[in-house]
Chains A and B, each alone.
Chain A
């Protein structure tokens, strides 16, 4: 109808067609450029990775030109600010591993038991209340946990266990554990939820109790997912910064005494970068060497989690 009225009003048809074609080709041009634009946006994430790797590696190489790589990884002394600075990473590795172990000792059992409750025992109604509440725990900024560890948990521990120092590795370890409970709980619960109900019912029909079914059927079947959640939890704890920075102080102790202050890799980076390291100094480059070690550590843990969940997955 519209074309008819146009014809009647005497508009030149070929002109209209030309206009339409022009518009179409403009649209076409636009249409064709869209994938290119989107591709550029998508490649920013790849650039980020390259940026991280390049930054860390190029500066860490500078560091290793001044400090032999073997001394760095086997040195038990870290005195970056003294006259004869020593850069041994072992005190930092020690602090990182101990705090992460404490965290997983807290979060592993509690997270797994929470997952068992939520997935096997809780009614739908209870689950709908508890899960969002646990998610709040995951949404609290880590700086708030740091404050909590320093001003509440540490005094509490010192009251119960005299001899614990004002800054110690135990308190941030426990609080980090609380922080990763929701993560382990929800990932393990996902793993247990994906176990088909037929297996549970088969077991229950044999006359087992729910507990026996959970421990002998559901958990073995969901084992890969549960292990992966533990590994991811440890990786989170290794990379966690603010809690240990605030509550564990900055003594570069090489000790296994959890009552004492220790520094983690992340806390070292905060201390040095927030402070006095002039650009180009060995101290400045040491930041990147430590960060590279941290990056490799967490990357290995994350890849391990993926490997575990793929390799040991039971298909149903």
Chain B
């Protein structure tokens, strides 16, 4: 009788252990699911677009015939947008982070600004598009030019940069600034010469992540009315432009009319992903190379 009970107990444990290992593999497969989709997506895009990429495609102008189409205009547009987004987000973002971390008193006002920033981060990007359309394109009468698009995208990614800059500033150990104050330096001198240099690698990493979000963003640009027509290359902040994501968008929705457009979209996606990949590599490089451990 006793033996039987022991056997029964043993069986139960076996079953429970088996259940555990079965679920373990289910959990593992779930984790793989996302990665498999990622792999399928990338392989699919590569197969579809790779053969369409050549030097003419990259430096060429837009054309209605698929064979002659090039995306230089979109690449230049994306670069011009970066010219606006980088300084605007860095100045406003780092300034805000310094203010919140080092100047403002911990209290009501600061918590209002911080709540506000976290809520802004949750606003759908298309709503920023309407803000940009109303304020920059119509009210400031800029039209759908590089500056309007760049400012809209800059506002969109600002919360990302502020939060990462705040974390970077917080990570600078207190004894560095204590030492600086001890030498008689003023607050701003300490910030400029001690705290900012120590925090700059992490800030740059955050800035690059924010930038790569900005250049992959499509929805606000569609609202601004960014065209994909045969427009001249943008040469300044006040020129109309098109950007890589917009190009992908128009070619994708037109692929039901001209099948080759889908391949052009895939080729443009490859270019966009390469740019994003390079940007992120730079971010990782900076993080590994310059980040001090205190």
Q: Which residues of B contact A142 (CB under 8 A)?
A: 216-219
- Contact check, A39 vs B99: say whether CB atoms are below 8 A apart: yes
- Contact check, A273 vs B222: say whether CB atoms are below 8 A apart: yes
B17 to chain A, nearest CB (A): 6
- Contact check, B28 vs A117: say whether CB atoms are below 8 A apart: yes
Task: Give the contacting residue for A117; candidates B27, B96, B126, B187; CB below 8 A.
Answer: B27
- Contact check, B127 vs A302: say whether CB atoms are below 8 A apart: no
- Residue A134 lies at the interface, judged by CB distance under 8 Å to chain B: yes
In the bound complex, what is the Cα–Cα distance between A45 and B117 (angstroms)? 7
- Residue B269 lies at the interface, judged by CB distance under 8 Å to chain A: yes
Given contacts A45-B113, A55-B135, contact A269 B45 (CB under 8 A): no
- Residue B38 lies at the interface, judged by CB distance under 8 Å to chain A: yes
Q: Chain A, 185-225, contact with B by CB distance < 8 Å: what is the 0/1 string?
A: 10000000000000000000000011110000000000000
Q: Which residue of chain B has its CB nearest to the CB of A175?
A: B37
Taking CB atoms and an 8 Å cut-off, the chain A residues in 117-148 that contact chain B are 117-118, 121-122, 130, 133-134, 136-137, 139-148
In the bound complex, what is the Cα–Cα distance between A266 and B123 (angstroms)? 12
- Contact check, B225 vs A273: say whether CB atoms are below 8 A apart: yes
- Residue A298 lies at the interface, judged by CB distance under 8 Å to chain B: yes
Given contacts A114-B30, A246-B253, contact A137 B119 (CB under 8 A): no
Which of B23, B27, B98, B104 has its CB near the most chain A CB atoms (within 10 A)? B27
| Chain B residue total in the interface (Cβ 8 A) | 80
Chain B contact residues: helix, strand, loop or mixed: helix
- Residue A59 lies at the interface, judged by CB distance under 8 Å to chain B: yes
Task: Give the contacting residue for B95; candidates A31, A37, A143, A211; CB below 8 A.
Answer: A37
Given contacts A27-B186, A147-B265, contact A241 B30 (CB under 8 A): no
Q: Which residue of chain A has its CB nearest to the CB of B262?
A: A151
Give the segment of B51-59, B67-75, B272-280 that binds chain A.
B272-280
Task: Give the contacting residue for B223; candidates A34, A35, A56, A270; CB below 8 A.
Answer: A270
- Contact check, A45 vs B96: say whether CB atoms are below 8 A apart: yes
- Residue A152 lies at the interface, judged by CB distance under 8 Å to chain B: yes
- Contact check, A241 vs B41: say whether CB atoms are below 8 A apart: no
Q: A239-B126, A294-B124 are in contact. List 20 more A-B contacts (CB 8 A).
A: A35-B103, A44-B92, A45-B92, A45-B158, A46-B113, A117-B31, A130-B31, A143-B252, A143-B269, A147-B45, A148-B45, A209-B19, A212-B20, A242-B249, A245-B219, A266-B219, A270-B222, A274-B225, A291-B127, A301-B122
Q: Which A residues are closer than 8 A to B by beta carbons?
A: 27, 30-31, 34-35, 37-39, 41-42, 44-46, 48-49, 51-52, 55-56, 59, 109-110, 113-114, 116-118, 121-122, 130, 133-134, 136-137, 139-148, 150-152, 166, 178, 181-182, 185, 209-212, 232, 235, 238-242, 245-246, 266, 269-270, 273-274, 279, 287-288, 291, 294-295, 298-299, 301-302
Q: Which B residues are closer than 8 A to A by beta carbons?
A: 16-17, 19-20, 23-24, 26-28, 30-31, 33-35, 37-38, 40-41, 44-45, 48, 91-92, 95-96, 98-100, 103-104, 112-113, 116-117, 119-120, 122-131, 133-135, 138, 155, 158-159, 162, 186-188, 212, 216-219, 222-223, 225, 245, 248-249, 252-253, 255-256, 262, 265-266, 269, 272-273, 276, 280
